[in-house]
Chains A and B, each alone.
Chain A
Amino acid sequence: MKLKRLILALTAACALFAQPANAQYPDKPITLIVPWAPGGSTDQTARVLAKAAENYLGQPIIVVNRPGASTTIGMAELAKAAPDGYTIGTLSSTGYLVKLQGRQLSFDPIEDFSYISYYGDNLIGIAVLTDSPYKTLKELVAFGKANPGKLKYGTAGVGTTQHLTIEALQRDSGAKFVHVPQQGSAASAPALLGGHVDFIMETSVWAPFIESKQMRLLAVSATKRSDVYPDVPTFGELGFKSLRSVQAIIAPKGLPEEIRVKLEIAFRKALSDKAFQATMQKLAMQVVDLPGADVKKLVESEYALAKELIESTKK
């Protein structure tokens, strides 16, 4: 057993430095399960990324959409698939956040997967209408502190990254806002435009309205400032915590390390693809490169933070 592991580790190490000559894998097309409906940001980016990764794998990657039940339908299918490297999938934060909602899942959203690579973060930000009196996040928080429960905000739903980040903001600043959950990100923009909520915390649905000067972006939750909105501060700069909106490539648990490394190399090389980067830019998403092992650590720490937040709001 030990010997086997050693050999595996050795092959993996070799694979890291030189692509092995005995390239049996992949000898047939690879299926990539996207647990979202066609056309969404994950679908669009994953398709372009897969196209780019094909060049390094020498086999086509077929994208199949398995949407529904907050990605858990597609995730369950992926968890059940054979760990042979011919079925891989995308991971979004939603996939592990639903577990915190108390939903019964047929799989463990973190432990039942092997982590291949990371590819980016969705840009999430706080937007208000242009004629709103709040010019900065600080002013918004100050008002929320002085007038608890007065301001209403919209997000894509309960327990989403967007919602939890505002929960963290309220907890750390002492401000109190009222959450009006919307039916998905797309519904948040009209809720703000129509004045039905005072601000929204959303993925890039506000982008066209920032451009048309109908909305103003107060802060983004990202590790660094966005290239598209260099003037908008991040939550971190302002001293607030934020959750990340993870986009990663995963496979079923038990994927042989040798195959995992091959996939990791291909998908990480694909990050430099022009078309992929253009698509990410268009969706205001940030390209992030992380090795597979670090992806799991990131997901675990994000999960722990989200759990802590949810528990603190329940009290």
Chain B
Amino acid sequence: MLNSLEQIFYGLSLAVLPQNLLYAFMGCVLGTLVGVLPGLGPITTIAVLLPLTFQASDPLGAIIMLASIYYGAMYGGSTTSILLRVPGEAASVITCIDGYEMAKQGRAGPALSIAAIGSFIAGTGSVIALSFVGPAFAKFAVSFGPPEYFALAIFGLVLSATIGGGSPARGFCMVLLGILFGLVGTDTVTGVERFAMGVPALADGIDLVPLLMGLFGLGEILYNLEQKGELSVLTSKIGRLLPNREEWKESAGAIGRGSVLGFLVGLIPGGGAIIGSLLSYSVEKKLSKTPEKFGRGAIAGVAGPESANNAAASSSFVPLLTLGLPGNAVTAVLFAGLLIQNVQPGPLMLVKNPDIFWGVIASMYVGNVMLLILNLPLVGLWVQLLRVPVWILGPAVLLVAIFGTYSLRSNWTDVSLLMIAGGAGYVLRKAALDAGPFAMAFILANIMDTSLRQALLMGDGNIAIIVSRPLSASIIGVTAVVVIYTVYSYFKAGRAKKYERPDNS
């Protein structure tokens, strides 16, 4: 313990060096910006900057900047989700659900503020956990094998069906549809291409960014076209900027639970921020005394997931730095960044490059404070976006979505995909089918399919492997309880109960 403290102070002494502070600040500003801009995610930005770090003479500064872009983007990602229902970053999809509803009710300010504050608490909490017990958690990360991933994916899919506000049948339908589209691309286990129709851009699967931006962002723009100003978020009053007392009370628990959940999920390679925020949302909905508020502007539905995705972003540094295992696409690019700087992330990094290890971790404390200071005043500025006339805002979002999509892979197919997803988003919305469960199932489908078949290969074709391992067995157990409880309450509440539309706009 004392040793860790000493090392953190050592790290802090490096992180507060003027040039490193400057790098962290630049990273935070850049990260917030790319997080806010839909379509531009931390992956693109870090990848663009990566070649520049080839020449950097100061490895620590370069890494601090790349890392702060990552968590900065997690802060910024919620902004457009709340204001425009366009996920600024994939991990903020869940925030679209209740955040946008809050904005429509004139509560954009509190939603943005709680997202920033939740992110700060979760980010700081995770860094503390990371500095003291991080290496110990490394074992947990590798204990996740195919059976555990399968159990987690099933759990996530069951929860996905319930995140929308619609009827269970509608949620379930969208989950199934999400699974189908999620399976497009090369199958890991057999190497066969599924449903790609020979289109090279689909060989690795449908890209998440155009899909999400189309379904949510473009779908919303199209939907607003016919509203002609009535009822749209754009005409609602701006209202308070900070949450009131009641909102604080509703959010506090959600932030705490979201942080812990996000931290744990972020540790697992392949887990990451998106699954963390999904879990947090479902847990909050299940624990809430007023679950019917979810999907209609529950602040806990913003506070929880936003905390979770930040906690996960921080804890994904554990497998990266202690094991050299990049758990998601962003940490994979960071991994490359470290290698370029002649730092081998992995078990020996603590011994061979303690300055980088502790410097990066300490910079995360600094970065979180910077981001809070940067983001809270920005809330006032962002809500002004709502004053921009509809005829300017619509085309502007459209253009950013198009350019952002193209910039990811320089691929025309992705732009077409964006348009198709946009059209689908509009039709689904009119049909009161929620895109949230679809998005979640889309992400989880491949994990579920691949890990099930990997687990079967490991277990010589016997499915018992999934229930015979303690970790996967307990996740399956929890899943079963959730399913039974949901079915039970469905029948108890009476099947005749009318389900209202997922959003009554």
Interface positions of A (Cβ within 8 A of B): 37-40, 43-44, 47, 63, 65-70, 72-73, 76, 101-104, 106, 149, 152, 157-159, 178-183, 186-187, 189-191, 193-197, 207-209, 211-212, 214, 282-283
Q: Please report the total number of B residues contacting A with Cβ < 8 Å.
A: 50
Contact B188 A72 (CB under 8 A): no
Taking a contact as CB atoms under 8 Å apart, the answer to whether B323 and A193 are in contact is yes
B324 in the interface (beta carbon within 8 A): yes
- What are some 30 contacts across the A-B interface (CB < 8 A)? A37-B333, A38-B333, A38-B336, A39-B332, A39-B340, A47-B51, A63-B51, A68-B200, A69-B186, A69-B201, A72-B203, A104-B198, A106-B200, A152-B458, A157-B188, A157-B191, A158-B189, A159-B191, A178-B457, A178-B458, A180-B454, A181-B188, A183-B188, A186-B326, A189-B324, A195-B145, A208-B348, A211-B347, A212-B347, A282-B344
Measured CA separation A39–B340 after assembly (Å) = 8
Q: Does B486 contact A (CB under 8 A)?
A: no
What's the count of A-B pairs with C-beta under 8 Å? 133
When A and B form their complex, which 3 residue pairs have the shortest distance between CB atoms, in order from nearest? A39-B336, A158-B191, A208-B346
Contacts of A104 in B (CB 8 A): 198
Interface contact B145-A194, CB-CB below 8 Å: yes
Given A101-B191, A183-B270, A212-B348, list of 7 further CB < 8 A pairs? A38-B333, A43-B336, A65-B47, A157-B188, A180-B146, A193-B142, A211-B346
B316-331 to A contact mask, C-beta < 8 Å, 1/0: 0001000111100000
Chain B residue with the shortest CB-CB distance to A278: B342
- CB-based contact B348/A211 at 8 Å: yes
The residue on A at minimum CB distance from B185 is: A69
Q: Does the CB pair B336–A209 fall under 8 Å? A: no
A190 touches B325 (CB 8 A): yes
Q: Please state if A182 and B200 are interface contacts (CB–CB under 8 Å).
A: no
Across the interface, which residues of B come within 8 angstroms of A187, CB to CB? 269-270
The reply to whether B186 and A70 form a contact with Cβ atoms under 8 Å apart is yes
Residues of B within 8 A of A181 (CB): 188-189, 191, 454
Cβ contact within 8 Å between A194 and B333: no
Asked if A40 meets B336 with Cβ closer than 8 Å, knowing A157-B188, A157-B191, A181-B189, the reply is yes
Q: In the assembly, what is the distance between CA of A106 and CA of B142, in Å?
A: 40
Rounded to whole Å, the gap between the CB of B227 and the closest CB of chain A is: 38
In the complex, chain B residues 339-372 whose Cβ is within 8 Å of any chain A Cβ: 339-340, 342, 344-348
CB distance from A266 to the nearest CB of B (A): 20
Binding site for A on B (CB under 8 A): 47, 50-51, 54, 141-146, 186, 188-193, 198, 200-201, 203-204, 269-270, 319, 323-326, 332-333, 335-337, 339-340, 342, 344-348, 409-411, 450, 454, 457-458, 460
Judge whether A47 and B342 touch: CB under 8 Å: no
Q: Which of B270, B324, B332, B410 has a CB less than 8 Å from the CB of A208?
A: B324
A157 to B188, CA, bound (A): 6
- Residues of A with C-beta under 8 A to B186: 69-70
Q: Which residue of A lies closest to B456 (CB)?
A: A180
A257 smallest CB distance to B (angstroms): 30
Residue of A nearest to B143 (CB): A194
Known contacts A187-B269, A196-B145, A197-B458; decide if A208 and B347 are in contact (CB<8 Å). Answer: yes
Bound-complex Cα distance A256 to B399 (A)? 42
Q: Of B47, B203, B347, which one neighbours A39 at CB under 8 angstroms?
A: B47
Smallest CB-CB separation from A198: which chain B residue?
B458
Q: Which of B143, B189, B200, B457 contacts A152 (CB 8 A)?
A: B457
Chain B residues whose C-beta falls within 8 Å of the C-beta of A40 in the assembled complex: 336
Q: Is the CB of A194 within 8 A of B144?
A: yes
- Per the bound structure, the CA–CA distance linking A187 and B149 in Å amounts to 13
- Known contacts A70-B186, A73-B200, A189-B324: A149-B460 contact under CB 8 Å: yes
Name the one of B337, B339, B458 contacting A196, with C-beta atoms under 8 angstroms. Answer: B458
- Are A208 and B458 in contact (CB-based, < 8 A)? no
Q: Is the CB of A39 within 8 A of B333?
A: yes
Chain B hits for A179, CB < 8 A: 457
**Chain A residue at minimum C-beta to C-beta distance from B319:** A190
A214 touches B347 (CB 8 A): yes
CB within 8 A of B203: which of A70, A178, A211? A70
B51 touching A38, Cβ below 8 Å: yes
B59, chain A: closest CB distance, angstroms? 13
Complex contacts, B193 vs chain A, CB 8 Å: 103
Nearest B residue to A76, CB-CB:
B200
CB-defined contacts of B319 to chain A, threshold 8 Å: 190
Known: A158-B189, A186-B325. A39 touches B142 (CB 8 A): no
State in angstroms the CA–CA spacing of A214 and B143 once bound together. Answer: 15
A38–B334 Cα distance when bound, in Å, is: 10
What is the chain A residue whose CB lies nearest that of B147? A196
Chain A: CB-nearest residue to B268: A190
B43 to chain A, nearest CB (A): 9
Among candidates B142, B333, B339, B346, residue contacting A212 with C-beta atoms closer than 8 Å: B346
In the bound complex, residues from chain B placing their C-beta under 8 Å from that of A149 are 460
Evaluate whether A180 and B458 lie within 8 angstroms (CB atoms) in the complex, with A37-B47, A190-B325, A209-B346 already known: yes
**B204 cross-chain contacts in A, Cβ below 8 A:** 68-69
A53 to chain B, nearest CB (A): 15
CB distance from B195 to the nearest CB of A (A): 14
- Report the minimal beta-carbon distance from A241 to chain B, rounded to whole angstroms: 21
Q: Which A residues touch B200, using CB under 8 A?
A: 68-69, 72-73, 76, 106
Contacts of A196 in B (CB 8 A): 145-146, 458
State the CA gap A47–B51 with chains docked (Å). 9
Partner of A209, one of B332, B347, B410, B450: B347
Bound together, the chains give a CA A183 to CA B193 distance in angstroms of 14
Q: Shortest CB–CB separation between residue B34 and chain A, in angstroms?
A: 16
- By a CB distance below 8 angstroms, the chain B residues around A208 are 324, 344-348
Q: Which residues of A contact B189 (CB under 8 A)?
A: 158, 181
A193 / chain B contacts, CB cutoff of 8 Å: 142, 323
B340: chain A residues at CB < 8 Å are: 39, 44
Cβ distance A207 to chain B, nearest Cβ, rounded Å: 7
Most B-side CB within 10 Å, residue of A183, A187, A211? A183
User: What's the Cα separation between A67 and B190 when bound, in Å?
Assistant: 21
Residues of chain A contacted by B410 (CB below 8 angstroms): 66
Complex alpha-carbon distance, A282 and B410, angstroms: 31
Chain A neighbourhood of B450, CB < 8 A: 183
List A contacts of B203 (CB < 8 A).
Answer: 68-70, 72-73, 103
Q: How far apart sit A103 and B450, CA to CA, in the bound complex (Å)? A: 20
